[in-house]
């Protein structure tokens, strides 16, 4: 049965002729790994459902039974990729899962994760993030390490870097010290934001996080009659929903390893880690019921609303707002707190079609424009003859915001104001959020009054960056000393992002380049994904 049972030799994809010209990166994803005492296919599935907000383009699971691996991955939502016949074949008590949203170019099943490399030992990896020195690493892997790259994903680069660092130790059987040394080698060579969950057949599952902790990663445990089970995942909601108790966040530069016999090991593998998580996780990506780096996402968003209300009181005390209406779903918490603080009516004015994916992550601007009207419908009674303050989590391109403002006018709003719970997004993200090119960000090169005119709003209020940081950080509640807020201030915490790098990123990410780029690996023969 093609693609069902996979061992040390056969979890790979054949492709053509040469490596791609440039790594495309690995955008925001959700990852999970489990070491269990009984079959964990259903638990992995349930965890991925809870992480579905982090990626709706593709999903995959690899399980391990003894020395054998079993894989299912494909394009689509979790519920569509995994049918009963697939779940039955995902055997074993240990496994890794992944959900992905579209990359900057065309999507293909060949770049769905988890990825696998045969040598050494057989290694499975699921990755969330982006390597800022991917081109340099790719050259080194091909020329110096003599390894083959089959996709344009830097997740495959990360996997092969780790595999090489483990292989050069030259051991027939490995232990936890070998893993820690190999991850230390990854940290020495790789730059950027990355969180990964990795599995080696017959040995264990381990997770590691970049030295700045830019992308989130947590781990927890649950007690069963057969013994203690462990999970490593992008967000705590994946733990809570499946009966696991949160132990801790994976610290920046730390590796958390659980061997298949149930032993837990942790080690700091990076030389000088500095916790600098991505603040945009708290603004937009993370689920509100998650806790990351000891910060409640829900509470952080509530405080964002309080800060916004304080700014309105301070700078617009004579406002004429009749009603506060959130743009569903991420902004609801901030909007409700803002309305409460101002003593203004809060109303749900938009009905969301839950069968349409997030607009921000739709591939291609033309599709994005069309999807807004498919996704939201305005309730005219909440808008008619009223001065409305619409609240959203952020404004990126402005495409969606412009259309939502016009929708409010079309159903009879007298005046339409717009508030963003985040500051203007002026710079591209380089650590795993596949934002548009800088030139396509509505705030790039524009003042706030100019942005307001572009959006067609009667008034525009942005959160101040200092207020956003204070809202998320909550002194005394969190141990985070600083955040990566590069999309707002252009300060990239890894210190290696040059103007030349950003120019190259601009050329790769702009819509014109995306439309001209051919589909990636669509002709590849995907031997392991046919059942």
356 class by beta-carbon count within 10 Å (0-12 exposed, 13-18 middle, 19+ buried): middle
Q: Considering only CA atoms, which of 446, 451, 439 is closest in space to residue 502?
A: 439
The span from the CA of 21 to the CA of 491, in Å, is 28
**Are 192 and 430 contacting, i.e. CB atoms less than 8 angstroms apart?**
yes
Q: How many Cβ atoms are within 10 Å of 148's Cβ, its own excluded?
A: 12
Residue that has been written with the tokens 């230390």 in this structure: 184
**Are 306 and 338 contacting, i.e. CB atoms less than 8 angstroms apart?**
yes
The span from the CA of 229 to the CA of 227, in Å, is 7
The span from the CA of 208 to the CA of 197, in Å, is 7
Q: Considering only CA atoms, which of 264, 220, 217, 218 is closest in space to residue 243?
A: 220
- Half-sphere exposure for 37 (CA within 13 Å, toward CB): 12
The span from the CA of 462 to the CA of 450, in Å, is 13
**Are 400 and 368 contacting, i.e. CB atoms less than 8 angstroms apart?**
yes
Show which residues are catalytic.
Answer: 29
Q: Considering only CA atoms, which of 13, 90, 28, 86 is closest in space to residue 58?
A: 28
Q: Considering only CA atoms, which of 522, 491, 413, 449 is closest in space to residue 212?
A: 491
Q: At what angle do helices 399-410 and 448-455 cross, to 10 degrees?
A: 60
């Amino acid at each position: 049965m093609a693609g069902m049972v996979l061992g040390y030799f056969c979890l790979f994809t054949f492709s053509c002729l040469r490596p791609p010209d440039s790594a495309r990166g690995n955008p925001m994803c959700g990852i999970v790994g489990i070491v269990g005492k009984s079959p964990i296919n259903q638990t992995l599935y349930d965890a991925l459902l809870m992480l579905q907000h982090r990626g709706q383009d593709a999903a995959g699971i690899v399980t391990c039974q003894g020395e054998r691996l079993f894989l299912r991955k494909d394009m689509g939502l979790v519920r569509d990729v995994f049918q009963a016949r697939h779940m039955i074949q995902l055997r074993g008590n240990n496994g890794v899962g992944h959900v992905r949203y579209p990359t900057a170019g065309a999507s293909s099943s060949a770049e769905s994760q988890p990825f696998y490399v045969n040598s050494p030992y057989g290694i499975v990896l699921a990755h969330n993030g982006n390597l800022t020195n991917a081109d340099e690493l790719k050259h080194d892997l091909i020329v110096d390490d003599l390894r083959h790259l089959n996709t344009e994903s830097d997740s495959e680069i990360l996997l092969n870097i780790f595999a090489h660092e483990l292989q050069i130790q030259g051991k027939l059987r490995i232990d936890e010290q070998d893993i820690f040394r190999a991850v230390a080698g990854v940290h020495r060579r790789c730059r950027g934001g990355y969180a990964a969950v990795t599995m080696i057949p017959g040995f264990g599952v381990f997770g590691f996080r970049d030295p700045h902790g830019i992308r989130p990663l947590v781990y927890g445990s649950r007690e069963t009659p057969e013994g203690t089970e462990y999970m490593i995942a992008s967000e705590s909601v994946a733990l809570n929903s499946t009966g696991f108790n949160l132990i801790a966040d994976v610290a920046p530069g730390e590796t958390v390893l659980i061997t298949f016999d149930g032993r837990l090991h942790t080690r700091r593998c990076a030389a000088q880690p500095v916790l600098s998580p991505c603040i945009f996780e708290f603004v937009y990506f993370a689920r509100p019921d998650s806790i990351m780096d000891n910060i409640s996402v829900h509470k952080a968003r509530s405080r964002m609303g309080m800060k916004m209300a304080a700014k309105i009181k301070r700078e617009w005390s004579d406002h004429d707002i009749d009603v506060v209406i959130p743009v569903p779903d991420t902004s609801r918490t901030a909007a409700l707190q803002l309305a409460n603080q101002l003593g203004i009516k809060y109303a749900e004015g938009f009905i969301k079609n839950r069968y349409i994916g997030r607009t921000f992550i739709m591939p291609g601007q033309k599709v994005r424009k069309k999807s807004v009207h498919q996704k939201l419908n305005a309730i005219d009674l909440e808008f008619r003859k009223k001065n409305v303050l619409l609240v959203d989590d952020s404004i990126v391109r402005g495409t969606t915001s412009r259309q939502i403002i016009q929708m409010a006018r079309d159903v009879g709003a007298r005046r339409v104001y717009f508030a963003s719970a985040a500051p203007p997004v002026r710079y591209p993200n380089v650590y795993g959020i596949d934002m548009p090119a800088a030139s396509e960000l509505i705030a790039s090169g524009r003042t706030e009054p100019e942005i307001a005119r572009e959006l067609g709003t009667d008034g525009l209020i942005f959160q101040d960056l200092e207020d956003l940081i204070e809202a998320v950080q909550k002194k005394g509640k969190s141990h985070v000393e600083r955040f990566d807020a590069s999309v707002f201030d252009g300060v990239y915490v890894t210190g290696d992002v040059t103007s030349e790098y950003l120019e190259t990123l601009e050329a790769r990410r702009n819509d014109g380049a995306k439309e001209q780029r051919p589909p990636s690996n669509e002709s590849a023969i995907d031997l392991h994904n046919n059942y």
